[in-house]
A and B are shown apart, each in its own frame.
Chain A
């Protein structure tokens, strides 16, 4: 890995970004404004966390990048998205997957009536009929997720939530991605499993050089495994910075990590937080 852990986001010394989102605005159904100008950068080989509460716009941001938005009657109306130096905001999902950018959707979305192995194989759809290579990659996925090998013949609908999440990530790996957009991998999983999955993602990042944009509500975990973070609220980035700085930030601590330096605070102070946030804008 050329890229080191430290702060990729800030201007000058950064390596070229694999993904950069510039001030995009997303509108659903021609009327509902969901993202109001989101910008972010993912450096080559980095893990970047996209944090925020429910409905902040994390998933929408990822879908705008992968262009799954189109299928939900949403569209990017302003701004641009660059992947590996090319503009991709009008590209189809199929095209993006071919270019090496794939999304792992929130809620896993395995193909329930297909076996685990068939699920993994559908991930290689865009690669045509290169059988030998696809077989090799299947084995590679099994080395990262040995559990899936045991369950390869089970229908994906019947395996556990953690195994489904692994299947979803493994399926994405089968497309040989350069970049994975990982949407809430911790959803509905036991803490131990969440840790296991994050460890594997970290491993994929360092060993396979896959860059990761990670949308998470589990702020603590996400900041532990990422190098840089963005915090979204109401469709805007309200704060960003290196992961370790964000973890020390008193506002993040209080509102996303649930820890406070000052003991219990009254709701009056919430307003002051809002004011500060606006200033950050």
Chain B
């Protein structure tokens, strides 16, 4: 039972990472109808920038110069500024010119963008695996280990807390502020939003900046767990099944979808073989060993099932119909 609990909890915590990436996707998709393929690489780029600033790496040289090192309280805002500049550049050089084009054209532009990010990250900050040290706690949470015998990494709890804070802040921003209201208006009806004088360009810059900040949080948390490396961009792919599960337009969907995928794949990895054997073992002789490494494809199979039976996802936009 304890082992089961540990599996579920570590699944939930991994799921939070998927949720964060999916959140970035949803924000941009809602406001501009663009499927931002590069969200994962954006997380990588943001994390690389932060580490570069922290360790005083001189851009383009890949050499650390400790005298340029910037403390975390300044490096984080600086990284956020970099992400905002990136958002402005994306609007200026991509979105502005491709607005009203076919979806597939924008999608291809986003695929291209992800390579630009990857290349830029490589050229500016170098491609070696980096360790990020923001003073986040490491190791097991002793109290839980002593009292309940559960092993949970502190860093994962920090990740969970960061995700919760981020979601609460975003929700407040969307519900309570003038800009947030405008963002929701744009998501609802582009044309009408334009007609009341909401400037789409401005909204796009904001939404990409917010996605950039979400990417930064994702990159840092993920990087603190397993080092900042280029495979980070692959978590973007895991966000796809999350989106299919949760619905492309739903923020709660992105979060719940991420958690379901996280827990699901951990459970499938650990118990999948036993379950299969328990069900089919009567008729066939099955070696439970062949059901390992399900973690890699479980999410995609789940997404496939969802596509077949509930293509709008769990939380797909509520379609308002008046009769």
Show the binding face of A for B, using Cβ within 8 Å: 66, 68, 71-73, 92-94, 96-98, 102-105, 109-114, 118-119, 121-123, 125-126, 129, 155, 157-158, 160-161, 171-172, 175
A-side contacts of B182, CB under 8 Å: 122, 125
Residue of B nearest to A92 (CB): B199
A71 near B192 with CB under 8 A, answer no
| Chain B residues with CB below 8 A from A172, complex form | 196
Q: Residues of B contacting A66 with CB < 8 Å?
A: 195
Minimum C-beta distance from B185 to chain A (A):
5
Instruction: Write out the residue numbers on chain B whose beta carbons fall within 8 Å of the beta carbon of A171.
Output: 196
A73 to chain B: closest CB distance in Å? 6
5 contacts between A and B (CB under 8 A): A92-B199, A111-B192, A112-B320, A118-B184, A122-B196
Query: Given A111-B185, A114-B185: A125 and B196 within 8 A (CB)?
Result: yes
Could you tell me if B184 and A94 are in contact, using CB atoms closer than 8 angstroms? no
B189 at the interface (CB under 8 A from A): yes
Q: A98-B197, A172-B196 are in contact. Are A122 and B185 (CB under 8 A)?
A: yes
Q: Specify the chain A residue showing the minimal Cβ separation from B192.
A: A109
Q: How far is the CB of B307 from chain A (nearest CB, A)?
A: 25
Beyond A93-B197, A110-B189, 16 additional contacts (C-beta under 8 Å) are A66-B195, A71-B100, A71-B194, A93-B195, A103-B195, A109-B195, A110-B192, A111-B189, A111-B193, A112-B320, A122-B182, A125-B182, A125-B197, A125-B198, A126-B198, A158-B322
**Chain B residues in 8 Å Cβ range of A71:** 99-100, 190-191, 194
Q: How far is the CA of A93 from the CA of B190 in the complex (A)?
A: 13
> Counting CB contacts under 8 A, is B103 at the interface?
no
Q: Please give, as numbers and ranges, the residues of chain A lying within 8 Å of B196 by CB-CB distance.
A: 97, 102, 122-123, 125-126, 171-172, 175
Contact A157 B322 (CB under 8 A): yes
Classify the interface of chain B: helix, strand, loop or mixed.
helix
Determine the residue in chain B with the shortest Cβ distance to A157.
Answer: B320
**Across the interface, which residues of B come within 8 angstroms of A160, CB to CB?**
322
Residue B188, interface by CB 8 Å: yes
Q: Across the interface, do B191 and A68 meet the contact criterion of CB distance under 8 Å?
A: yes
The size bracket of the interface on B is 20 to 34
Nearest-Cβ distance from residue A132 to partner chain B, whole angstroms: 14
Given contacts A71-B100, A155-B320, contact A126 B181 (CB under 8 A): no
- Inter-subunit contact A105/B192 (CB<8 Å): yes
Task: Provide the bound-state CA to CA distance between A66 and B196, in Å.
Answer: 10
CB distance from A195 to the nearest CB of B (A): 22
* 3 closest residue pairs by CB, A with B: A97-B197, A157-B320, A109-B192
Chain B residues within CB distance 8 Å of chain A? 99-100, 178, 181-182, 184-185, 187-199, 318, 320, 322
Q: Are B195 and A114 in contact (CB under 8 A)?
A: no
Contacts A111-B184, A157-B322 given; does A73 touch B197 at CB 8 Å? no
- Docked pose: A113 CA to B250 CA in angstroms: 12
**CA–CA, A161 and B323, complex, Å:** 10
Return B251 CB to nearest CB of chain A, in Å: 12
Contact of B100 among A73, A118, A157 (CB under 8 A): A73
CB pair A109 B197 closer than 8 Å: no
Identify which of A71, A98, A111 gathers the most chain B CB atoms within 10 Å of its CB. Answer: A111
CB of B290 to closest CB in A, whole Å:
47
Please, which residue of chain B has its CB at the minimum distance from the CB of A66? B195
Residue of A68, A113, A157 touching B195 (CB-CB under 8 A): A68
Complex: chain B residue closest to A72, CB-CB: B100
Considering the chains assembled together, what is the distance between the CA atoms of A111 and B197 in angstroms? 14
A270→B196 CA distance, assembly (Å): 42
In the assembled complex, how far is the CB of residue A128 from the closest CB belonging to chain B, in whole angstroms?
8
> Taking the nearest CB of chain A, how far is it from the CB of B80, in angstroms?
22
Alpha-carbon gap, A104 to B191, bound state (A): 11
Which B residue's beta carbon lies closest to that of A63?
Answer: B195
Residue on A nearest B320 in the bound complex, by CB: A157
Q: Could you tell me if A114 and B191 are in contact, using CB atoms closer than 8 angstroms?
A: no
Q: Which of B189, B190, B195 has the most CB of A within 10 A?
A: B195
Q: Given contacts A68-B195, A71-B191, A105-B191, is CB(A113)–CB(B184) below 8 Å?
A: yes
In the complex formed, the residue of B with least CB distance to A98 is B197
Q: A126's closest neighbor in chain B, by CB?
A: B197
Q: Are A129 and B192 in contact (CB under 8 A)?
A: no
A102 touches B184 (CB 8 A): no
Point out the residues of chain B lying under 8 angstroms from A102, CB to CB: 195-197
